[in-house]
Chain A
Amino acid sequence: MEKENRPIIEFTDVSFKYRAQKDPTLKDINLRIYPGEKILIAGQSGSGKSTLAHMLNALIPCSFGGDMSGTLRVCGQEPAKLGVFGMSQIVGTVLQDTDGQFIALTVGEDLAFALENDEMPQDEMKKRVLDVAKRLELTDFLENAPGELSGGQKQRVSLGGVMACDVKILLFDEPLANLDPATGKNTIALIDEIMKKDDLTVIIIEHRLEDVLYRDVDRIVLMDDGRIVSDMAPDEMLCSDMLVKYGIREPLYISAIKAAGAVIGPQTHPQHIETMDITPYRDKIRSFYEDTAENSLSPEKNLLLSVSDLEFAYDEKRKILNNISFNIYRGEMVALVGKNGAGKSTLASLICGFNKPQKGVIMLNGENIEPLSIKERGEKIGYVMQSPNQMISKPMIMDEVGLGLISRGVPEEEVRERVSEALRVCGLYPFRNWPVSALSFGQKKRVCIASILVMNPDIIILDEPTAGQDYGHYTEIMEFIKEIRDKTGVTIIMITHDMYLMMDYTDRTLVLTDGELLLDAKPYQVLTNSEVCSRAYLKRTSLYDLSVKCGIEDPASFVKAFIDEERKKRSKIKSDSDR
């Protein structure tokens, strides 16, 4: 897209090396961004995209030191000279962690934070805050504390906090990572609206491509290993094989069309499924659908966990959970989904015994587990927290994995054996004598799972196992969990709001909304049910739209066919690589 005016951001031959690292993190970056553009920067973790962002707001080199070469101009100025404070008047950065960015006690104060630091007089500040709050529909929440807001609202506060400074550029660092799908979609729409209204330039760093593309993007800049490997309009990028090559997940409808054997051309405008012209591909997709015959073998079902009529409330005012009943069968992988605050974590905490239900029965292996203590339940039901850093409490891997056994007084000899076994299953045996701190995020996750697995539980409950992970790490963690299930037959329940995870890996989905169980069905049934999706803040899959556009009568079975195909492909790749 040609623009006549001068670039607002201009990288010329920029390289950067962190002081503590041997190799440069950014290499020969040349990038021009023009006023009013919306740019998506995509890339795997470690590709250098966050480093690039930190150069724009001057955190590099002002807070994180290192050697920089080449020139960078933002609005004609050099960020390194203006400093972080100076740049904050030009570039507004919205961080991934909305709880970290929400610094003040109330919404109003947080919106005012930058203005306070700039010594703006109070009456002017109040006017400005009110104005920003109006634009973001936050006027009713000005006196609310962060704990009283939803994830989407917190994000709007973060956005408002930087907008209060009249910035020219908005920089979003993985804005979707902590949001449920529907809220993520609204966020993207909001960004679009604001940039048009206020005439801003927007840069979004995100690997969830399909969600960002919900609204038009001018260019996608793809990064890998510190370099820009591609810089194209989305329509062209989606037709290439660049995304897959560099570990970014394509939109599902694109994968499906490609899986059907069609070659996508930019002239069909593949950026949005709603407006894409799929006539050239329709026949191929239909025949793909007809070829992948229904071959679902339902495995024999052994009832493991049965929950009936569960009810829970912290106080009389509001029930957190009401009338919850479901069954879990041995060896299943089940997703527990629903918007933030729907009661997912509470349900898990009732099963683990962290809280006691007011009403209802939980049976495990036909036995009522009500009288069991948290510790006793822990031997049968393992719980893995979202961040491995919240669980790991020993510096050495062996000690960490053995912790649960030692605290139960298992003899040392047996502990060593069982720990070794668990480490072998989890592929950590070669690292058994390493300190935990030397491991990657994914490996730490494995340590956490190993430390639960070592107790031979019937069920493992995982809280958001892949939150904030890019496609590569997501696949690594999920393939690992699936492998554990296949090897040991342990039952897996995952709390998640990742629609991909639910689709790619689970056998069944429990949808919670406002404390009630809305639906208990197969993932493809959930993701094609518009009403359930909108009530539970999920997002209907784009495969649904694709199948409707192709005139397929039963979108759910099309989605199922595609999922099955993909799973087959993945396990084939897996077994090939194992060999």
Chain B
Amino acid sequence: MKNKIGIREVVAMGIGTALFVVLTNAQIPLIFVPNTALQPRMAILAFLAAVFGPIVGAVVGLLGHALGDALFYGSVWWSWVFPEAVVGIAVGLFANKFAVKEGRFVSGRNIAMFNIVQVIANAVAWIVVAPVLDIAVYSEPANKVFVQGAFAFLGNIIIVGILGTILLIAYSKIAGRSSELKAED
């Protein structure tokens, strides 16, 4: 089910991307290393992927990052765009298991699983994919990109782990209660 694209998924991709782009500027500065502030938009990406599945996660990651960078910073750092999609896909693949919309993202088991998945996904994305692309495509110094990648990894697992988890629990509580009742008012 979750891997199929229905209208709701298309809209989630579009509006999710818009939200991701808007939050490009909302950063929580961490340490003075370029590209390594805490990025609340990562929590949004993880949230959307966990609710809507891997395709939505991939598109919001790709489009959102590329568009956000282009609109706000006038440059697109492609080697950091693709890892974003990796996180979106990885988290999205487990969307059925998290059962956010069904209201079951309240059990410790699902929350733990989400966090294990997001840590692994972020590790692959920022400690492997991003630096490798940086080296392969842009010939950046290896030690620099791995340090940057490590900071991005740390920042992202913190923001997704805290903010992403809180958002998912809260949404799961609301969605599970009465998703079908909404049509009435």
Residues of A near any B CB (own CB < 8 A): 18-21, 25, 45-46, 48, 50-51, 54, 59-60, 64-66, 395, 435, 437-438, 441
Contact = CB atoms under 8 A, between A and B. Distances in A.
A50 B179 CA distance: 16
B185 to A, nearest CB: 5
A51 B173 CA distance: 25
Nearest to B8: A63
B178 interface: yes
Given A395-B173, A435-B173, A20 B179 contact: yes
B177 interface: yes
B173 A64 contact: no
B183 A64 contact: yes
A517 B108 CA distance: 57
B185 A50 contact: yes
Given A395-B170, A437-B173, A18 B181 contact: yes
A475 B183 CA distance: 23
Contacts of B180: 18-21, 64-66
A50 B184 contact: yes
B183 A18 contact: yes
23 contacts: A18-B180, A18-B184, A19-B180, A20-B178, A20-B179, A20-B180, A21-B180, A45-B184, A46-B184, A46-B185, A50-B183, A50-B184, A51-B184, A59-B183, A65-B180, A66-B180, A395-B170, A395-B173, A435-B173, A437-B173, A437-B174, A437-B177, A438-B177
Contacts of A25: 184
Contacts of A59: 183
B183 A51 contact: yes
Nearest to B11: A103
Contacts, number: 37
Nearest to B177: A437
Given A50-B183, A66-B180, A437-B173, 4 more contacts: A20-B179, A20-B180, A21-B180, A64-B183
Contacts of B185: 45-46, 50, 441
Nearest to A393: B170
Contacts of B178: 20
Given A20-B178, A437-B177, A60 B183 contact: yes
Contacts of B179: 20
Interface string B149-185: 0000000000000000000001001100111110111
Contacts of A51: 183-184
A25 to B, nearest CB: 7
A21 B179 CA distance: 11
B170 A21 contact: no
Nearest first, the 5 A-B pairs at minimum CB distance are A20-B180, A437-B174, A45-B185, A64-B183, A18-B180
**Taking each of A20, A25, A59, which has the highest tally of chain B beta carbons within 10 Å of its own beta carbon?**
A20
A435 B173 CA distance: 9
Contacts of B170: 395
Contacts of A45: 184-185
Contacts of B177: 437-438
A437 B170 CA distance: 9
A162 B174 CA distance: 33
A438 B176 CA distance: 12
A54 B183 contact: yes
A45 B183 CA distance: 11
**Taking each of B170, B178, B181, B184, which has the highest tally of chain A beta carbons within 10 Å of its own beta carbon?**
B184
A25 B183 CA distance: 11
A441 B184 CA distance: 13
A51 B182 CA distance: 11
Nearest to A47: B184
Nearest to A60: B183
A45 B184 CA distance: 8
Nearest to B174: A437
B179 to A, nearest CB: 7
Nearest to B185: A45
Contact of A20 (B173, B174, B181): B181
Nearest to B183: A64
B19 to A, nearest CB: 14
Nearest to A18: B180
A489 B180 CA distance: 42
A66 B179 CA distance: 13
A437 B176 CA distance: 11
A59 B183 CA distance: 10
A437 B183 CA distance: 16
Contacts of B181: 18, 20-21
B66 to A, nearest CB: 18
B70 to A, nearest CB: 17
A59 B8 CA distance: 14
Nearest to A49: B184
A50 B182 CA distance: 11
Contacts of A64: 180, 183
A18 B180 CA distance: 7
A46 B174 CA distance: 19
Nearest to A46: B184
Contacts of B184: 18, 25, 45-46, 48, 50-51
**Taking each of A45, A46, A437, which has the highest tally of chain B beta carbons within 10 Å of its own beta carbon?**
A437
A325 B23 CA distance: 37
A395 B172 CA distance: 12
A395 B173 CA distance: 9
Nearest to A64: B183
A25 B124 CA distance: 49
A124 to B, nearest CB: 25
A350 to B, nearest CB: 24
Nearest to B175: A437
Contacts of A60: 183
Contacts of A438: 177
A468 to B, nearest CB: 9
B182 to A, nearest CB: 9
A234 to B, nearest CB: 25
B22 to A, nearest CB: 14
A21 B180 CA distance: 8
Interface in B34-62: none
Interface string B99-134: 000000000000000000000000000000000000
**Taking each of B173, B179, B185, which has the highest tally of chain A beta carbons within 10 Å of its own beta carbon?**
B185
A65 B177 CA distance: 16
A20 B178 CA distance: 7
A59 B174 CA distance: 22
A315 B174 CA distance: 42
B128 to A, nearest CB: 36
Contacts of A65: 180
A54 B183 CA distance: 9
A552 to B, nearest CB: 40
